[in-house]
């Protein structure tokens, strides 16, 4: 099938259909739902995108037929994505987007050293804390960016993802400053239709997102409830508040100025806006996969211990989720 041949019910997307511009080479570490979505969008802007992942069935489908992205009844087929397994020989990328699970970062870097060149910019959009530090163990901190995204994506089946909706992606520098490198990366994402903003305080950004995850993910994984259902039951609603308040106390003790002054109200707002969403941690538990609990609630516990702040609710949730992990 030709690269631009129409598929019934879809919009076919290829770089030849776009106005010419400077092509960037982008490697996406972690070809799950979110990595696949970002890769597809970046490829549609004329960039050469390489998805690197372990799901052979998903990658084979993309290689043979392209990636199908569905949103609100519309389907788009992205044919120009390249795919590889970890460790496959690849050259340096202009940008490496890191979306492997928190905790897998260092292993992913070591397996794929070839994609990191002297001028490579590295952007992590992973959940939890510690990802920047993991990258900085191998890469120059001056080339590391970190951020959060409110994009929503879910893997429906190999080769097909559901795009749950657009949301702002925020990025900042590990060294807490704004400069040309940061602005150029934001512009690259914007050109791909990814609404992006920059910040000079990436720690506040990451903790703001962390407190939402701390309140929602572990609870949904243990109760098998959707995000919205957490607010419908008084016990889970109460636990959500306790989890977030403990995390807030730790953040403030670290001198972090949160972007949302009331993180509990913000977590509740996220629950309502994503009421039908099944959190990534819930999906991990259901599929018998390792979770990111140690980089979320577990991170709050560790930071609390350093500062002498008790975090009993987060400690209990962390232990319970570990107890149901493989």
Give Cβ neighbours of residue 290 (< 8 Å, ≥ 6 apart): 101, 103, 284, 325, 326
Long-range pairs, 311-314, Cβ under 8 A, ≥24: 311/246, 311/247, 311/250, 312/246, 313/239, 313/242, 313/243, 313/246, 314/214, 314/243, 314/246, 314/247
User: 118 an active-site residue?
Assistant: no
Helix/strand/coil for 278: coil
Three-point CA angle 298, 252, 175, nearest 5°: 80
Question: Cβ distance 81 to 67 under 8 Å?
Answer: yes
Closest CA to 132 of 116, 119, 147: 147
Q: Please identify which of the residues 24, 61, 101, 209 carries the catalytic annotation.
A: 209
Residue 60 near residue 32 (C-beta atoms within 8 A): no
Return the SS3 of 238: helix
Tokens of 251: 């953040």
Output the DSSP codes for 162-195. Answer: EEEE---EEEEETTS---HHHHHHHHHHHHTT--
CA distance 220 to 271: 11
Among residues 213, 262, 258, the alpha carbon closest in space to that of 240 is found at 213
Catalytic residue set: 209
């Amino acid at each position: 099938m030709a690269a631009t041949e129409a598929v019934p019910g879809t919009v076919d997307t290829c770089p030849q259909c776009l106005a010419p511009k400077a092509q960037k080479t982008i490697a996406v570490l972690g070809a799950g739902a979110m990595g696949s979505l970002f890769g597809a969008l970046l490829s549609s802007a004329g960039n050469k995108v390489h998805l690197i992942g372990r799901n052979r069935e998903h990658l084979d489908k993309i290689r043979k037929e392209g990636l199908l992205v569905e949103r609100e009844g519309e389907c788009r087929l992205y044919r120009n994505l390249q795919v590889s397994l970890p460790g496959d020989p690849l050259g340096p990328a202009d940008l490496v987007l890191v979306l492997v699970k928190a905790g897998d970062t260092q292993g992913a870097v070591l397996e794929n050293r070839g994609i990191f060149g002297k001028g490579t910019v590295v952007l992590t959009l992973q959940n939890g804390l510690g990802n920047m530090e993991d990258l900085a163990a191998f890469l120059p901190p001056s080339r590391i960016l970190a951020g959060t995204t409110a994009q929503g994506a879910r893997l429906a089946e190999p080769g097909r993802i559901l795009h749950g909706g657009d949301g702002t992606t925020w990025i900042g520098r590990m060294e807490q400053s704004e400069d040309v490198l940061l602005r150029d990366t934001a512009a690259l994402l914007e050109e791909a239709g990814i609404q992006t903003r920059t910040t000079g305080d990436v720690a506040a950004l990451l903790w703001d997102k962390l407190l939402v995850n701390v309140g929602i993910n572990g609870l949904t994984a243990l109760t098998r409830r959707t995000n919205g259902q957490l607010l419908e039951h008084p016990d889970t609603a109460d636990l959500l508040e306790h989890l977030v308040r403990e995390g807030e106390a730790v953040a403030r003790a670290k001198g972090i100025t949160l972007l949302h002054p009331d993180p509990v109200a913000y977590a509740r707002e996220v629950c309502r806006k994503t009421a039908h969403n099944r959190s990534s941690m819930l999906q991990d538990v259901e599929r018998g996969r390792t979770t990111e609990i140690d980089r979320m609630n577990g991170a709050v516990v560790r930071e609390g211990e350093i500062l002498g702040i008790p975090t009993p609710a987060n400690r209990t949730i962390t232990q319970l989720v570990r107890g149901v992990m493989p």
